[in-house]
């Protein structure tokens, strides 16, 4: 059984409460609770400040403006800083060996003491994945999130045994926080994971809204609520300076489909399935998993869960009451052969074609407990992440070859996106009526298309900020400007051995090796005279097949020999000089002959 840390101050999902935090003041039910004085607590700054104050509100998005992933927004006012989300981005095809990418927070170096809090909008990895790597660097500032979000964060943190415990606090959607000069509120939004929220940041310069990932679902599944339209409208009536909002699906017309509609289709599939049903989905799509579990249980079927992260999230959701299921309904995947095929539902990870995930292992016949049999139905209950199209197609081809019936979202509505479409965005804009509009969470073309949607609602061009990662937005006296200033926002890579923003050198080497291969030149020279002792050895990997290019290799060997002889110093072997000369000469020669640029590795052995 996976347990989450118990806290006497922890609320139930629907019950507001009050707690004290050492660097924040939290207000609930119109009562303000101030923590006892501490040596590091700054005085509270009133919400209304003198307009002549020289301070400016600076908003900087350092991840999520040129990609979908590694979402991170920094807001700074004077000596106060808050951060919204610390996510990761999964590597692209031209990033061999990279596990994932996280935001560059080097701008905050030396400002750690000014960070009043980190707010997490929801528990998807593109919003929480950077926490284990970045929170220690930031000095473990206080973190705030809803209960499910925090539980998933803490569970993942268990994989990093050498780190200190997080300074993390459960909040309720009705809570109010004072973090330095920032007054924070929250509002409920729909997404495909429970406990998703938007953030209202009240500053001396005006109100800034960060929606997180969201959609409007007017028929949410049981246990969820519709987005809090009344609260959003109330905030809008008070005046909103800037709206930062999700661009992922904003270019698509219409409204996002409801999870309830997906539930209807899933129930039909599960009911009519005459064999085993295998559903591939994301481990974080807890709303979808909840539907599948409840439908299967209602139809008297057993459920097997496979995938480490999926099992972990399932246990957390059960513990917090988001998913309720009888104990006998969940069975070990090792025991599914004990049940009739038509009574078995398997929920597993791997719908993106991940090499080691459960669905891929099932398709390849490598799974310990599951072998595809005639009559099995495979449901892909997720959309394809951009960049994964090829691997997903290969997975589908494999499943079809094995005789399985495959159902995916392009054939039938078995997946509802978690991101607002154009008409949803227009409604959000109408409710909030922001002066400035900042599309976030998307590639540049998505931001531009999102900007067009905002323009159609009447927001003028000059008030729509299409920014790059790290580009500074400043707000003062009700006026905003997208400056030309940029803070560091380039990639920071995590490759299993560590974290580095200088891995771009390694990345270039890996890309070069992947595209043109490598050639190793081994020359043995006399350590005293520098004379060549024997013919150079040449090794090629990923460049040319040696047996089919003997003439080229012999020509190269002869030329390397000449380079070494011509480089012969008077009395000693200057191996560094010889090595550099071989690298330059061989690289130029091979490009002339082949129009390829393999990596050249000269090795000089002194004897």
Beta bridge partners of 524: 605
pLDDT band at 97 (very low <50, low <70, confident <90, very high): low
Mean pLDDT of 325-351: 93
Catalytic residue among 246, 424, 495, 516: 246
CB 179 within 8 A of CB 82: yes
Q: Is the pLDDT of residue 44 over 50?
A: no
Q: Considering only 94-98, 115-119, 209-213, 576-580, which range has the smallest mean pLDDT?
A: 94-98
Predicted pLDDT at 65: 95
Q: Considering only 19-28, 352-361, 477-486, which range has the smallest mean pLDDT?
A: 19-28
The per-residue DSSP string of 411-424 comes to: TS-----SS--HHH
Mean pLDDT of 332-352: 93
Chain-centroid distance of CA 461 in Å reads 30
Q: Considering only 331-340, 506-515, 543-552, which range has the smallest mean pLDDT?
A: 506-515
Where residue 531 falls (left for φ over 0; alpha for ψ -120 to 50; beta otherwise) is: beta
- Residue percentage of the chain with pLDDT more than 70: 83
Catalytic status, residue 419: yes
- Distance (Å, rounded) from C-alpha 290 to C-alpha 517? 48
- Distance (Å, rounded) from C-alpha 391 to C-alpha 402? 17
* Sequence-separated (6 or more) residues with CB below 8 Å from residue 80: 42, 45, 114, 116, 179, 180, 181, 182
Q: Is the pLDDT of residue 176 over 50?
A: yes
Q: Considering only 35-44, 56-65, 130-139, 182-191, which range has the smallest mean pLDDT?
A: 35-44
What is the number of residues in the chain?
607
Predicted pLDDT at 530: 67
pLDDT band at 343 (very low <50, low <70, confident <90, very high): very high
Q: Is the pLDDT of residue 138 over 70?
A: yes
**More confident position, 2 or 412:** 412
- Distance (Å, rounded) from C-alpha 330 to C-alpha 170? 29
Q: Is the pLDDT of residue 359 over 80?
A: yes
- Distance (Å, rounded) from C-alpha 382 to C-alpha 418? 10
CB 97 within 8 A of CB 510: yes
Question: Rg (Cα) of the chain, in Å, rounded?
Answer: 29
Give the model confidence (pLDDT) of 251-277 as tens digits.
999 999 888 888 888 899 999 888 999
pLDDT band at 541 (very low <50, low <70, confident <90, very high): confident
- Distance (Å, rounded) from C-alpha 356 to C-alpha 306? 12
Task: Assign 300 to helix, strand or coil.
Answer: coil
- Distance (Å, rounded) from C-alpha 25 to C-alpha 41? 11
Q: Considering only 42-56, 374-388, 437-451, 522-536, which range has the smallest mean pLDDT?
A: 42-56
Predicted pLDDT at 30: 42
Predicted pLDDT at 342: 93
The per-residue DSSP string of 300-349 comes to: T-EEEEESHHHHHHHHHHHHTTSS---GGGEE-GGGGGGS-GGGEEEEES
Positions of E strands within 107-166: 115-119, 143-145
In Å, the largest CA–CA distance within the chain is 89
CB 146 within 8 A of CB 541: no
Mean pLDDT of 574-590: 82
Task: Assign 264 to helix, strand or coil.
Answer: helix
**More confident position, 42 or 587:** 587
Rounded to 5°, angle at Cα 605 from 604 and 606: 115
Q: Which of 56-70, 216-230, 375-389 has the highest mean pLDDT?
A: 56-70
Q: Is the pLDDT of residue 427 over 50?
A: yes
Give the model confidence (pLDDT) of 47-78 as tens digits.
444 444 579 999 999 999 999 899 999 999 99
Give the model confidence (pLDDT) of 459-502 as tens digits.
999 999 999 999 999 999 999 999 999 999 999 988 765 565 55
Mean pLDDT of 574-582: 79
Question: Please, what is the average pLDDT of the chain?
Answer: 85
- Distance (Å, rounded) from C-alpha 603 to C-alpha 520? 7
CB 291 within 8 A of CB 379: no
Going by DSSP bridges, is the β-strand pair 492-494/330-331 parallel, antiparallel, or unpaired? unpaired
**More confident position, 261 or 42:** 261
Catalytic residue among 122, 124, 191, 419: 419
Q: Is the pLDDT of residue 22 over 80?
A: no
**More confident position, 435 or 357:** 435
Give, for 325, the enclosing helix (H) or strand (E): none
Q: Pseudo-torsion of CA 521, 527, 528, 534, nearest 10°?
A: -50
| Number of continuous H segments (helices) and E segments (strands) in the chain | 14, 28
Q: Is the pLDDT of residue 509 over 80?
A: no
Q: Of 280, 486, 276, 294, which Cα lies nearest the Cα of 377?
A: 276
Residue 285 dihedral angles phi and psi, to the nearest 5°: -80, 65
pLDDT band at 17 (very low <50, low <70, confident <90, very high): very low
Give the model confidence (pLDDT) of 548-568 as tens digits.
678 888 888 888 888 877 765
Q: Is the pLDDT of residue 520 over 60?
A: yes
Q: Considering only 24-38, 93-107, 586-600, which range has the smallest mean pLDDT?
A: 24-38
- Distance (Å, rounded) from C-alpha 20 to C-alpha 29? 15
Predicted pLDDT at 355: 79
* Sequence-separated (6 or more) residues with CB below 8 Å from residue 552: 544, 593, 594
Catalytic status, residue 415: no
- Residue percentage of the chain with pLDDT more than 90: 55
- Distance (Å, rounded) from C-alpha 534 to C-alpha 536? 6
**More confident position, 387 or 156:** 156
**191 CB burial (10 A radius; 0-12, 13-18, 19+):** buried
């Amino acid at each position: 059984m996976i347990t989450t840390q118990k806290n006497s101050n922890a609320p139930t999902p629907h019950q507001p409460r009050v707690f004290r935090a050492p660097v924040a003041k939290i207000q609930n039910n119109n009562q303000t609770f101030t923590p006892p004085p501490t040596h590091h607590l700054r005085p509270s700054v009133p919400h209304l400040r003198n307009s002549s104050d020289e301070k400016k509100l600076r908003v900087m998005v350092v991840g999520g403006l040129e990609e979908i992933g590694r979402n991170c927004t920094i807001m700074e006012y004077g000596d106060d800083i808050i951060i919204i989300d610390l996510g990761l981005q999964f590597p692209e095809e031209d990033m061999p060996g990279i596990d994932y990418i996280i935001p560059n927070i080097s701008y905050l170096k030396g400002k750690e003491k000014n960070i009043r809090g980190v707010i997490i909008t929801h528990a998807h990895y593109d919003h929480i994945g950077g926490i284990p790597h970045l929170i220690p660097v930031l000095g473990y500032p206080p973190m705030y999130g809803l209960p499910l979000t925090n539980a998933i964060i803490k569970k993942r943190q268990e994989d990093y045994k050498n780190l200190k415990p997080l300074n993390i606090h459960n909040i309720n959607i009705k809570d109010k926080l004072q973090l330095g000069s920032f007054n924070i509120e929250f509002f409920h939004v729909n997404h495909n994971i429970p406990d998703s929220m938007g953030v209202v940041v009240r500053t001396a310069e005006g109100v800034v809204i960060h929606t997180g990932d969201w959609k409007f679902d007017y028929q949410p599944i049981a246990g969820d609520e519709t987005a809090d339209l009344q609260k959003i409208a109330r905030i809008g009536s008070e005046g909103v300076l800037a709206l930062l909002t999700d661009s992922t699906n904003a270019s698509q017309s219409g409204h996002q489909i409801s999870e309830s509609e997906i539930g209807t289709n899933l129930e039909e599939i599960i009911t009519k399935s005459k064999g085993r049903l295998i559903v591939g989905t994301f481990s974080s799509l807890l709303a979808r998993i909840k539907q599948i579990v409840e439908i299967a249980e209602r139809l008297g079927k057993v459920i097997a869960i496979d995938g480490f992260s999926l099992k972990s999230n399932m246990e957390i959701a059960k513990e917090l009451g988001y998913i309720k299921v009888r104990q006998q309904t969940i069975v070990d995947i090792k025991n599914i052969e004990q049940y009739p095929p038509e009574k078995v539902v398997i929920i597993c990870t791997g719908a993106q074609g991940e090499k080691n995930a459960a669905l891929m292992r099932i398709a390849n016949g490598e799974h310990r407990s599951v072998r595809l049999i005639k009559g099995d139905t495979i449901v892909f209950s997720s959309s394809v992440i951009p960049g994964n199209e090829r691997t997903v197609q290969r997975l589908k081809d494999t499943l079809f070859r094995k005789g399985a019936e495959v159902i995916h979202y392009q054939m039938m509505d078995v997946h509802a996106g978690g991101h607002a479409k154009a008409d949803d965005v227009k409604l959000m804009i109408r409710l909030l009526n922001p002066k400035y509009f900042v599309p976030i969470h998307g590639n540049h073309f998505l931001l531009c298309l999102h900007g067009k949607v905002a323009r159609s609602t009447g927001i003028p061009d000059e008030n729509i900020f299409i920014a790059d990662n790290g580009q500074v937005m400043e707000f003062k006296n009700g006026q905003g400007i997208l400056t030309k200033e940029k803070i560091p926002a380039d990639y920071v890579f995590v490759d299993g051995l560590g974290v580095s923003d200088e891995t771009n050198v390694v990345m270039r080497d890996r890309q070069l090796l992947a595209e043109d291969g490598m050639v190793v030149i081994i020359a043995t020279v006399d350590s005293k005279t520098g004379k060549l002792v024997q013919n150079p050895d040449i090794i090629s990997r990923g460049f040319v097949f040696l047996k089919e290019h003997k003439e080229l290799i012999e020509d190269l060997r002869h030329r390397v020999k000449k380079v070494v002889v011509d480089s012969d110093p008077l009395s000693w072997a200057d191996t560094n000089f010889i090595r550099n000369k071989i690298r330059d000469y061989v690289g130029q020669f091979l490009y002339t002959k082949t129009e390829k640029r393999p990596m050249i590795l000269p090795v000089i052995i002194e004897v």
